[in-house]
Chains A and B, each alone.
Chain A
């Protein structure tokens, strides 16, 4: 560009008019204009997507089982999970906006190799479990249409493996959100099946703590599926990737909180619909077809098909994002080459992790009996709940680091909420483990 200005001046001199002729053409350029609602929607993304992604096979199944087995009795847990999820997602979003880095990068930079290895093993286990849940979800969904598991799982796994390598991640994300529209059937079903909302409202404010191991397991599963470790890594990477600046922090915080409320709201409707369908009789859900009964008020004879489509879509798309994001997060932490655009030889570990997560998930689902699919899904969400505290502790420590966050570090009140959330989750996990341990020793508290 050495000659840029000189050239233009000289050209002006040699040309009669240097300026362009003014044409009556409106200004049509600009790929994105951000104004008002549009500005909100432009930023309104990562948090809402993470929130919606919470309602995958794990969420849908766990909430259905909860409604069927315990009716409305555990609804009081949702105000708590809304609060915890909102607190957590807000911190994650803030961390992403201020540092512009992913969660695994920050864990590596702040805590060194050993802690990073620990965190990544935890995440790997959690995500493999979630991949299992979603592949099991896909199998359970197609079971409704009579497609056997041994056909569904390999086909879906191979299709996903190829899809991520060939399709843009953004497209996958869009389709993911699109299928989630099916979940809107739940509020309708819940409303149609529930003539009187007084018991529902009462259930919200009536905590009933039971020492029954099954109930405790369900509670941990609900916490685990609502506040998945994977979501936190996803959200922060998405926020950092989008390059959301400090000036848009408020919008992004609103987005994160909105996502948390949304995911819990849908969860509540699923529980209410499932509870209504089984009249709160403590029915055991052993297949996707059982869970589909909750949608009968909306879809009548089509309930199974509707449920099957929703579950299949949610499962496949979550199973698509899970392995690839695992590979990205781990490679970022250790500084290994990553990216779907790379050749195998350039990023062997990246493709290795990606393939490993998907393959392990597929093989494990193939090994279990068809009747074990639903318990497997709920069990994997239990594991999410047990691993969650690890991620939360890292998160709260990071967001309190003033060198990292400056004036955006947690204040006293935020910290009270943050550590309070961590303690609640740890306490719930500890009680569940304790009761399970006692149970295995033959002592029963329930």
Chain B
């Protein structure tokens, strides 16, 4: 096992042992489980030269020895899957997938596997910092004298997701395969910590649907930044995949120019839905509601209604209630999933539904919507217009966000929160439940 920092600056010798330069960098091919070193960059008196690994006899603490007497000083062309360890990885930020956070690389740990040398881990601990400053040995002796150990921390390469980086030598195509598999909420909080370029690098590998899931979990400011950095057409695709209420919230925060541009590129009916939602004040039922819901005509039977549910595959937060509307789209009843399942298949739903269900008007203040939901222990509440027509629903997670906005919650000092046993209405447990309800749909 050896460290990158200990290899940089070692001499490079030709087969006769004559030094021709020093190691300036190591090249590895990423995309492999443990990326192999494919070459090294040597600094001779005049220039940087590229030496393919097959020309290197061995690399140890005494330096690198070449197996060929003459070297081909062809210009180094970095391939798309290759990175320079010192230039592109050392001191840069990576994502620690296991720990779900962004962290800085202090050193890179390499190991010999067969004849090759591979990257096995990145050093993110104090030992790496001390080594880079050239005081690892003395520091370890001091620590031992005090009966303690120098803290070491390594992240296995399998759990490392390199970022495109601000100083990347080429436009890297990092697959971000494992990162893309994280829960959208985890990925969103990682994205918050990245620079705009890195954000787009990571999000760029996601499909529209996954992208939209992550965007829904971001802070409003980050949502706007990310969306405005995208091509308008892609931004429109992402918005189409978001639930209409979240999309409307986001669109409302865009600059006027981006808003018009992006809405124009969305599919007409989706854009219309967003525009409709935009008409409501943000802190009203209309501003909170989503138009994604399951509504059936009162003439259906229980089995027909279940069949409809099966066709629609609604999200977790909307599957529990089926709303019943009359010919004029007026809300006449509601069925819980349980009502439907326990009812005889051919029973008309009008017989088992709860008539005159609890509902709120579109302009009802958000606070009182939340109170109503809490009072009746609902997972969602229907929203109706002046004529009693079903306009949408407000789900419990969105209602909670109005009582305890997530941004505010995050800003709360948690330094002493271990001592707080009563989190109150805005505290963590309730908020966490809201998150779960929102997140479990995936």
Closest CB-CB distance, A342 to chain B, in whole Å? 7
Interface hits, B319-341 → A, CB 8 Å: 325, 327-329
Using Cβ atoms and an 8 Å threshold, which residues of chain B touch A343?
A: 414-415, 417-418
Among B133, B220, B272, the one with the most A-chain Cβ atoms within 10 Å of its Cβ is B133
User: How many angstroms between the C-alpha atoms of A2 and B312 in the bound complex?
Assistant: 10
**Among A12-20, A215-223, A358-366, the stretch in contact with B:** A12-20
Instruction: Say whether B346 faces chain A, with CB atoms less than 8 Å apart.
Output: no
Instruction: Say whether A33 faces chain B, with CB atoms less than 8 Å apart.
Output: yes
Instruction: Say whether A341 faces chain B, with CB atoms less than 8 Å apart.
Output: yes
Choose one: B93, B225, B256, B279; the contact of A23 (CB below 8 Å): B279
Instruction: Say whether B51 faces chain A, with CB atoms less than 8 Å apart.
Output: no
Using Cβ atoms and an 8 Å threshold, which residues of chain B touch A334?
A: 104, 129
Choose one: A16, A19, A340; the contact of B276 (CB below 8 Å): A19
Using Cβ atoms and an 8 Å threshold, which residues of chain A touch B93?
A: 335
**Among A112-120, A278-286, A294-302, A428-436, the stretch in contact with B:** A112-120
Instruction: Say whether B11 faces chain A, with CB atoms less than 8 Å apart.
Output: no
**Among A24-32, A62-70, A129-137, A319-327, the stretch in contact with B:** A24-32
Binary per-residue interface labels of chain B (78-106) against chain A in the complex, 1 for a CB within 8 Å, 0 otherwise? 00000000000011110000000001101
**Among A3-11, A189-197, A265-273, A372-380, the stretch in contact with B:** A3-11
Instruction: Say whether A168 faces chain B, with CB atoms less than 8 Å apart.
Output: yes
User: How many angstroms between the C-alpha atoms of A275 and B314 in the bound complex?
Assistant: 76
User: How many angstroms between the C-alpha atoms of A32 and B228 in the bound complex?
Assistant: 15
Choose one: B103, B242, B249, B415; the contact of A1 (CB below 8 Å): B242
Whether the pair A21, B291 counts as a contact (CB closer than 8 A) is no
Whether the pair B308, A14 counts as a contact (CB closer than 8 A) is yes
Instruction: Say whether A35 faces chain B, with CB atoms less than 8 Å apart.
Output: yes
Closest to A34 in B: B255
Categorize the interface residue count of chain A.
35 or more
Closest CB-CB distance, A62 to chain B, in whole Å? 35
**Among B54-62, B64-72, B294-302, B369-377, the stretch in contact with A:** B294-302
With A10-B308, A16-B329, A113-B132 already in contact, the answer to whether A342 and B415 are too (CB < 8 A) is yes
Whether the pair A340, B413 counts as a contact (CB closer than 8 A) is yes
Choose one: B209, B212, B282, B296; the contact of A28 (CB below 8 Å): B282
Instruction: Say whether B278 faces chain A, with CB atoms less than 8 Å apart.
Output: yes
Binary per-residue interface labels of chain A (103-141) against chain B in the complex, 1 for a CB within 8 Å, 0 otherwise? 000101110111011000000000000000000000000
Using Cβ atoms and an 8 Å threshold, which residues of chain B touch A19?
A: 272-273, 276
Whether the pair A245, B312 counts as a contact (CB closer than 8 A) is no
Interface hits, B144-200 → A, CB 8 Å: 165-167, 169, 195-197
Choose one: A7, A17, A34, A403; the contact of B312 (CB below 8 Å): A7
Tally of B interface residues using CB under 8 Å: 85
Closest to B390 in A: A15
Using Cβ atoms and an 8 Å threshold, which residues of chain A touch B91?
A: 108-109, 112-113, 116
Binary per-residue interface labels of chain B (277-320) against chain A in the complex, 1 for a CB within 8 Å, 0 otherwise? 11111100011000111111100000000001001111100000
User: How many angstroms between the C-alpha atoms of A14 and B296 in the bound complex?
Assistant: 6
User: How many angstroms between the C-alpha atoms of A30 and B252 in the bound complex?
Assistant: 5
Closest CB-CB distance, B130 to chain A, in whole Å? 9
With A8-B291, A113-B129 already in contact, the answer to whether A27 and B278 are too (CB < 8 A) is yes
User: How many angstroms between the C-alpha atoms of A343 and B279 in the bound complex?
Assistant: 42
Instruction: Say whether B391 faces chain A, with CB atoms less than 8 Å apart.
Output: yes
Among B91, B212, B253, B255, the one with the most A-chain Cβ atoms within 10 Å of its Cβ is B91
Closest CB-CB distance, B427 to chain A, in whole Å? 14
Instruction: Say whether A150 faces chain B, with CB atoms less than 8 Å apart.
Output: no
Closest CB-CB distance, B415 to chain A, in whole Å? 6
User: How many angstroms between the C-alpha atoms of A66 and B308 in the bound complex?
Assistant: 82
Closest CB-CB distance, A446 to chain B, in whole Å? 42
Instruction: Say whether A45 faces chain B, with CB atoms less than 8 Å apart.
Output: no
Closest to A336 in B: B104
With A16-B329, A29-B281 already in contact, the answer to whether A3 and B255 are too (CB < 8 A) is no
Whether the pair A5, B228 counts as a contact (CB closer than 8 A) is no
Closest CB-CB distance, B155 to chain A, in whole Å? 12
Using Cβ atoms and an 8 Å threshold, which residues of chain A touch B197?
A: 100
Choose one: B165, B225, B248, B280; the contact of A245 (CB below 8 Å): B225
Instruction: Say whether A426 faces chain B, with CB atoms less than 8 Å apart.
Output: no
Interface hits, A23-70 → B, CB 8 Å: 23, 25-35
Instruction: Say whether A154 faces chain B, with CB atoms less than 8 Å apart.
Output: no
With A29-B287, A340-B413 already in contact, the answer to whether A6 and B313 are too (CB < 8 A) is yes
Instruction: Say whether A287 faces chain B, with CB atoms less than 8 Å apart.
Output: no
Binary per-residue interface labels of chain A (228-272) against chain B in the complex, 1 for a CB within 8 Å, 0 otherwise? 000000000000100101000000000000000000000000000
Using Cβ atoms and an 8 Å threshold, which residues of chain B touch A7?
A: 292, 294, 312-314
Whether the pair A1, B243 counts as a contact (CB closer than 8 A) is yes
User: How many angstroms between the C-alpha atoms of A379 and B293 in the bound complex?
Assistant: 68
Whether the pair A3, B313 counts as a contact (CB closer than 8 A) is yes
Instruction: Say whether B240 faces chain A, with CB atoms less than 8 Å apart.
Output: yes
Closest to A3 in B: B313
Closest CB-CB distance, A95 to chain B, in whole Å? 11
Choose one: B124, B277, B312; the contact of A10 (CB below 8 Å): B312
User: How many angstroms between the C-alpha atoms of A341 and B415 in the bound complex?
Assistant: 7
Using Cβ atoms and an 8 Å threshold, which residues of chain B touch A116?
A: 91
Whether the pair B328, A20 counts as a contact (CB closer than 8 A) is no
Closest CB-CB distance, A91 to chain B, in whole Å? 17
Choose one: A99, A106, A109, A168; the contact of B411 (CB below 8 Å): A168
Using Cβ atoms and an 8 Å threshold, which residues of chain A touch B106?
A: 113, 335
Residues of chain A at the chain B interface (Cβ within 8 Å):
1-8, 10-12, 14-23, 25-35, 99-101, 106, 108-110, 112-114, 116-117, 165-166, 168, 240, 243, 245, 334-335, 340-344, 401, 403-404
- 17 additional A-B pairs beyond A27-B278, A28-B282, A108-B91, beta carbons within 8 Å, are A1-B213, A6-B312, A7-B312, A16-B327, A20-B392, A21-B389, A23-B386, A25-B280, A29-B280, A29-B282, A30-B252, A109-B92, A113-B129, A165-B415, A335-B93, A341-B411, A341-B412
Can you list 14 contacts pairing A with B, beta carbon distance less than 8 Å? A8-B291, A10-B312, A11-B294, A14-B297, A15-B390, A16-B325, A19-B272, A20-B385, A34-B255, A35-B256, A108-B104, A243-B196, A334-B129, A341-B412
Residues of chain B at the chain A interface (Cβ within 8 Å):
90-93, 103-104, 106, 124, 129, 132-134, 165-167, 169, 195-197, 209, 212-213, 220-222, 225, 228-229, 240-243, 248-249, 252-253, 255-256, 269-270, 272-273, 276-282, 286-287, 291-297, 308, 311-315, 325, 327-329, 362-363, 385-387, 389-392, 410-415, 417-418
User: What 6 A-B pairs have minimum CB-CB distances, sorted nearest first?
Assistant: A335-B104, A29-B252, A113-B132, A100-B195, A3-B313, A20-B276
